[in-house]
């Protein structure tokens, strides 16, 4: 059954790496989180494929702007991610066809960010956020 595709685009900058993950993009709905893009305590990007956390080797530097695009297929419950440098020309990470983190989520309705719970204190700057939903027949 076809359904809406949601595209989230944003610019994001993290002030520092902390002892726990910072969530630089979380897309959620009733039942939990469908998409999660994080910066780990090692300064690399991480995401989920269902319940499995995948830690990449893609470095995320503090105080540097990045562009993040998430394309979420609500019918298939999958997503694609793309992270580039600020001018969009250098690819940092690309993820395709990952399954939603929590299978119980039916549709998404929130876009969130979250600093790490552990020290040192962080700030996350977010700019140029756009969310576009396209309904397919």
Say if residue 58 is exposed, middle or buried (CB neighbours under 10 Å; 0-12, 13-18, 19+): middle
* Mean pLDDT in consecutive groups of 10 residues from the start of the chain, 137 residues: 83 97 95 96 97 96 97 95 96 96 90 94 96 83
Q: Which two tokens stand for residue 129?
A: 């956020």
Find out whether 2 and 131 touch, Cβ atoms under 8 Å. Answer: no
Is position 136 within any domain?
no
Q: What is the pTM of this model?
A: 0.92
Given the structure tokens 């297929």, which residue do they identify?
A: 73
Q: What domain range includes position 74?
A: 5-129
CATH at residue 37 = 2.60.120.200
Give domain status of residue 30, yes or no: yes
Has residue 135 been placed in a domain?
Answer: no
> What b-and-e string marks burial along 90-129, b requiring 16 or more CB atoms within 10 Å of the CB?
eebbebeebbbbbeebebbeebebebbeeeeebebeeeee
Confidence at residue 135, expressed as pLDDT on a 0 to 100 scale = 82
């Amino acid at each position: 059954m076809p359904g809406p595709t949601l595209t989230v685009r944003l610019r994001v900058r993290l002030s520092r790496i902390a002892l726990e993950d910072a969530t630089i993009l979380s897309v959620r709905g009733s039942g939990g989180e469908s998409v999660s893009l994080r910066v780990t305590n090692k300064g690399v990007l991480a995401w989920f494929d269902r319940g499995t956390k995948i830690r990449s080797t893609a470095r995320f530097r503090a105080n540097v702007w990045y562009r993040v695009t998430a394309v979420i297929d609500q019918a298939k419950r999958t997503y694609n991610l793309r992270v580039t440098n600020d001018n969009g020309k250098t690819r940092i990470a690309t993820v395709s066809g990952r399954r939603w983190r929590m299978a119980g989520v039916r549709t998404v309705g929130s876009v969130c960010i979250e600093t790490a719970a552990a020290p040192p204190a962080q700030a996350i700057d977010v700019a140029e956020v756009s969310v576009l939903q396209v309904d397919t027949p």
